[in-house]
Structure 1
Amino acid sequence: MGGLKFLLEKEFKQIFRDKGMLPLIFMMPILQLCVLSFAATFDVKNINIEIADLDNSVLSQQLIGKYEASKYFNLISFRHSTDNLGEGLQEGEVGIYLEIPKDFEKDIVNEIPTSIAIKVDAIDGMTAGVSVSYAQTIIQDFREEIGERYGIKETAIAKGQLPLQFNISNQNWYNKTLNYKFYMVPGLLVLLVSMIGMFLTSMNIVKEKEIGTIEQLNVTPISKAEFILGKLTPFWLIGMFVLTIGLLVAKLFFSVPMVGSLVIVYSFAIIYLFVVLGLGLFISTLADTQQQAMFIAWFFMIIFVLLSGLFTPIENMPDWAQKITLLNPVRYFIEVMRGVLLKGATWSDVKNNFLVIGVYAMIINLMAIFAYRKTN
């Protein structure tokens, strides 16, 4: 083990002597977490809307006023019956078009069914669905307000024209304010820790090959297992440090709730880092140049991110893709991070994730050890 001690000393000196690597290790993850947490969001705001008022009545103006007052909509254009209707939607200037029909107020007062047309640019299906939902919510609130003002509900029910309505209570569990950052920040933190670990280790051994020092290490009495452990340990400590800083940023700057035990998070991270670091070292033992190692690591990382459930829920993927995600280590850490921090998951809830990632760590590091070609 004396050789391992000197190898660790060498690795730490090499890391801290590299002035270009230090900002990459300690500054970039924090900056990326802060930037991506605001950029990678599915919150839909500032929806450009075009409204055509064919009735031009008091009630139609009140409905338009609700859209103007909403923080989700920007009223880009307002049209009358003599204008070219839907022109903004056709030209791509607006995302949603709302048309208030003629005799809108008259029909409401006389309790005659009326329809409001909503047309939406559905190229982005997710944004289109959310936009329509927001628009319908405003119309629903307006309908209830007008119904109470004119007594439409009571008279209609008395006449048997409307079925008895129930009050529906809605509760949001685990994220009461529907703050999307609570959902994204834990996943982004896993992604950044994974990228730092895999990219740095993937270039480590191959860098020794390029500068010629790998031959000096090969003739030392250090075993293959000690060599891989010595290469892995410094970056494992760096990964734990980055995770700690990221959790502090998540709590202090984004107010991410941490309902569960951080002991579970750190325990899982200890094993998980052996997976991504071992994979990086395995790539590094096979590659001949740092450029080649970076391309291979980036190839795997893109697949891991797309199949991790970070942006797209795994349940929404095709069956074949869901089966592939079972081989994705990033998926398991994201599940643990979100489950523990937001839902307060316990050991029993994440034991399967621990089992899978433990087996994964053992296999990957054995592959790295066997792939390292020692000449002595």
Structure 2
Amino acid sequence: MRTLKFLLQKEFRQIFRDPSILRIIFVMPAIQLIILPLAADYEVKNIKLAVVDNNHSDYSRQLVSKITSSGYFQLQHFGSSYKEALQEVEQDKADLILEIPSQFSKDIVKENEASLLLSVNAINGVKANLGAAYLRSIIQDFNRELRLRWIQFPRFNPEMNIETPSSNWYNVHLNYKFFMVPGILVVLVTMVGAFLTSLNIVKEKEIGTIEQINVTPIHKYHFILGKLIPFWVLGLVVLGIGLGIARVVYGIVPVGSYLTIFCFAAVYLLAVLGLGLLISTYTASQQQAMLLSFFMMMIFILLGGLYTSIDSMPPWAQAITKVNPVAYFIEVMRMVVLKGSGLADIKYHLLTVLGFAVVLNSWAVLSYRKRA
């Protein structure tokens, strides 16, 4: 323990001596946590709509008014020429075209049915799909209102209307920040831990101090623990700062216990830091370590369930998530913050990440060579 104490003193002095490392550890994650959730918005708004009204009736005006009053669409173009509306799409001034035929009101009154043309700019697939879905939903509501207005008793009683109330569990107001902020916080803690530890041993190699350490009677596990523990402590500090920012800036207070989050984070950081140290033992320069860490972190983050649901991924991607520690922590954070899960609920995730930590740190100790 005395040997480990001196190693820890050396590492902490080396960390706090470099102002750039302190900025990376504390300032950058704080700024990113404040900015990223504001930009990573799942809601699609301000969809630019071009309407081609060939009917000019009360029904067509009511339909257009209902669409524009929904709050999702901006009426960018209104005219009677489909060609002009298509030019708006080609110039990226419109996302959707709704064409109302000239027989629209007549078909509704006499035929009890009418057709509309919906043309969608599918360059941005997400915006196209959601925009078309919003517009179809509004048209269906408009159609339902007309049916209630025109169908008379005894075939149908307009006063008899079946309503289906719904309630949203865990995220009552469907606030995407409550879903995104915990996941983004996991990513920031992972980036700080993995990047800095992957550069740690390599930095000793580049400045030449690794030879001085190797000739000392320090055991390999002492050396690895001396490199791991400081960043483990700093990772928990960054997590605490992030949870504070989430509470102050976004009003996110975990339904579950902070103790549950920190217990899992303590084990998770051991796994991530072990991965960083493992990378550091196999690389010869900081550039190699940074590129390899960036490559692995991008895969872990993109396949971690932050932006896309793991259940929607193809089978081969779902298989990769089984060995992705980031996916486990993102799921645990959302379970604790939104559902109030306890240690008993996350025991599978905890044991799995603990297995990652044991394997990766043991591998790092065994792969470190005191002799070239």
TM-score by length of 1: 0.92
Quote the Cα distance in structure 1 between the aligned partners of 2:82 and 2:196.
64
- Whether the 8 Å CA contact 1:182–1:257 is kept in 2: the answer is no
Q: For residue 12 of structure 1, what is the aligned residue in structure 2?
A: 12
Q: Does residue 293 of structure 2 align to residue 297 of structure 1?
A: yes
Query: What aligned pairs does 1:171-210 form with structure 2 within 5 A after superposition?
Result: 171-210=167-206
- Deviations 1:191-222 (CA, angstroms, capped at 9, x unpaired): 00000000000101110111111111112222
- How far off its partner does 1:54 sit? 1.1
Q: For residue 97 of structure 2, what is the aligned residue in structure 1?
A: 97
Quote the Cα distance in structure 1 between the aligned partners of 2:206 and 2:112.
81
Q: For the aligned residues, what is the CA RMSD?
A: 2.2
Provide the identity percentage. 49
- The letter of the residue matching 2:202 is V
- Deviations 1:239-298 (CA, angstroms, capped at 9, x unpaired): 001101111111221223411222211110000000111111111111111111111111
- Whether the 8 Å CA contact 1:3–1:221 is kept in 2: the answer is no
Indicate how the Cα distance of structure 1 residues 122 and 166 shifts in structure 2: closer, same or farther if over 3 A, else same.
farther
Q: For residue 278 of structure 1, what is the aligned residue in structure 2?
A: 274
Q: Does residue 129 of structure 2 align to residue 129 of structure 1?
A: yes
- Deviations 1:118-157 (CA, angstroms, capped at 9, x unpaired): 2212233322221122212322333344455xx324x1x6
Q: For residue 357 of structure 2, what is the aligned residue in structure 1?
A: 361
Q: Helix, strand or coil: the match of 1:115?
A: coil
Q: For residue 112 of structure 1, what is the aligned residue in structure 2?
A: 112
Q: Helix, strand or coil: the match of 2:330?
A: helix
- Whether the 8 Å CA contact 2:50–2:85 is kept in 1: the answer is no
Quote the Cα distance in structure 1 between the aligned partners of 2:249 and 2:156.
55
Quote the Cα distance in structure 1 between the aligned partners of 2:269 and 2:85.
58
- The letter of the residue matching 1:245 is I
Quote the Cα distance in structure 1 between the aligned partners of 2:198 and 2:84.
59
- Whether the 8 Å CA contact 2:335–2:341 is kept in 1: the answer is yes
Q: For residue 68 of structure 1, what is the aligned residue in structure 2?
A: 68
Q: Helix, strand or coil: the match of 1:93?
A: coil
- How far off its partner does 1:373 sit? 1.1
Which stretch of the first structure deviates more once superposed, 76-85 or 284-293?
76-85
Q: Helix, strand or coil: the match of 2:346?
A: helix
Q: For residue 318 of structure 2, what is the aligned residue in structure 1?
A: 322
Unaligned runs of 5+ in 1: none
Quote the Cα distance in structure 1 between the aligned partners of 2:344 and 2:121.
45
Q: For residue 143 of structure 1, what is the aligned residue in structure 2?
A: 143
Aligned length: 371
Which stretch of the first structure deviates more once superposed, 250-259 or 86-95?
86-95
- Deviations 1:151-174 (CA, angstroms, capped at 9, x unpaired): 324x1x634799x97433333222
Q: For residue 152 of structure 1, what is the aligned residue in structure 2?
A: 150
Q: Helix, strand or coil: the match of 1:118?
A: strand
Quote the Cα distance in structure 1 between the aligned partners of 2:344 and 2:282.
38
- Whether the 8 Å CA contact 1:111–1:152 is kept in 2: the answer is no
Query: What aligned pairs does 1:164-313 form with structure 2 within 5 A after superposition?
Result: 166-313=162-309
- Deviations 1:169-193 (CA, angstroms, capped at 9, x unpaired): 3332222222211111111100000
Query: What aligned pairs does 1:345-356 form with structure 2 within 5 A after superposition?
Result: 345-356=341-352
Quote the Cα distance in structure 1 between the aligned partners of 2:366 and 2:342.
36
Quote the Cα distance in structure 2 between the aligned partners of 1:82 and 1:368.
65
Quote the Cα distance in structure 1 between the aligned partners of 2:93 and 2:176.
27
- How far off its partner does 1:109 sit? 4.3
Quote the Cα distance in structure 1 between the aligned partners of 2:88 and 2:264.
52
Quote the Cα distance in structure 1 between the aligned partners of 2:81 and 2:56.
9
Quote the Cα distance in structure 2 between the aligned partners of 1:280 and 1:205.
10
- Whether the 8 Å CA contact 2:60–2:100 is kept in 1: the answer is yes
Quote the Cα distance in structure 2 between the aligned partners of 1:195 and 1:82.
50
Q: Helix, strand or coil: the match of 1:49?
A: strand
- Whether the 8 Å CA contact 2:82–2:99 is kept in 1: the answer is no
Which stretch of the first structure deviates more once superposed, 177-186 or 351-360?
177-186
- The letter of the residue matching 1:92 is D
Query: What aligned pairs does 1:5-84 form with structure 2 within 5 A after superposition?
Result: 5-81=5-81, 84=84
